Amino acid sequence: MAALHRILIVDDEPDLEPLILRRMRRKIRAGLYEFLFAANGVKALEVLNERPDIDIVISDINMPEMDGLTLLEQIRKVDPNIRAIIVSAYGDMKNIRTAMRRGAVDFITKPIDFEDFEETLERTIIQLREWKVALLARDTMVSSQSESNPAAGA
């Protein structure tokens, strides 16, 4: 069965993948999270296009081919409902501010504090869920209105 939430991790450091899989193994095993990995922004966009069910992207900033700040701008074009979290160097205020202004919902710093990582992820998921419920209500209403009034929909 598909996991409840799908999270794409974008980082050119290969060490991160086993680390996350190990730290989050309980949540993965419980079917709450599925993690996907991409090594840079270009690969991340490919994964996002293949997997429209990804909810959250957590991306590093400095990467070859396409960096995290550029990726942030592209994600919005793929799906404005995807929530992005940026991973920055500790105290790198300039990049963090740029990321937030480009629509990141939050940031975490390196080296990754997994407690903060999990808390940030959970909070983002709760907000995303609330948002999707509200969107669903809106879509349901739009479709029921066009159904009950076909002339208006035509």
Partner 1 sequence: MVVKKPYRILVVDDEPDLEPLILQRMRRKIRSGSYSFEFARNGVEALEMLNIHQDIDMVVSDINMPQMDGLTLLEQIPKVDPDIRSIIISAYGDMKNIRTAMNRGAFDFVTKPLDFEDLQVTIDRTLRHLEEWREALASRDKLVALQNELDVASSTQQSILPKVFPRSADYQVFGHMEPARNVGGDFYDVIRLEGGRIGLAIADVSDKGVPAALFMMSSRTLLKGAAIGTADPGEALREVNELLYEENETMMFVTVLYSIYNPETGRLTYSNGGHDAPMLVRSDGSSELLPLTGGVALGVAPDLDFPSSTVDLAHGDTILLYTDGITEAMNADGEQFGVGRMHEVFAENPPENSEQAAKAMFEAVKEFVGDTPQSDDITCLVVRRHEESS
Give the closest residue to 58 by CA, choosing from 68, 67, 49: 68
149 in contact with partner 1 (CB under 8 A): yes
Q: How far apart are CA 125 and CA 49, in angstroms?
A: 21
Q: Is 128 in the site for partner 1 (CB under 8 A)?
A: no
Which amino acid is it at 112?
Answer: I
The nearer residue to partner 1, 49 or 149, going by C-beta atoms, is 149
The answer to whether residues 56 and 8 touch, using CB atoms and an 8 Å cutoff, is yes
Of 49 and 144, nearer to partner 1 (C-beta) is 144
Segments of 1-143 assigned E as strands: 5-10, 33-38, 56-60, 83-89, 106-110
Q: How far is the CB of 73 from partner 1 (least distance, A)?
A: 14
* Given 100, 112, 114, 128, the residue binding partner 1 (CB under 8 A): 100
Least distance from partner 1 to the Cβ atom of residue 131, Å: 7
Residue 152 interacts with partner 1 (CB under 8 A)? no
Nearest to 10 by CA among 53, 63, 51, 65: 63
CA dist 108 and 90 (Å) reads 8
Closest approach of partner 1 to the CB of residue 108, in Å:
8
Binding mask 41-80 for partner 1 (x = CB under 8 A): ----------------------------------------
Exposure letters 91-100 (e unless 16+ CB within 10 A, then b): ebeebbebbe
Binding residues for partner 1 (CB under 8 A): 90-91, 93, 97, 100-101, 103, 106-107, 109, 116, 119-120, 123, 131, 133-135, 137-138, 140-141, 144-145, 147-149
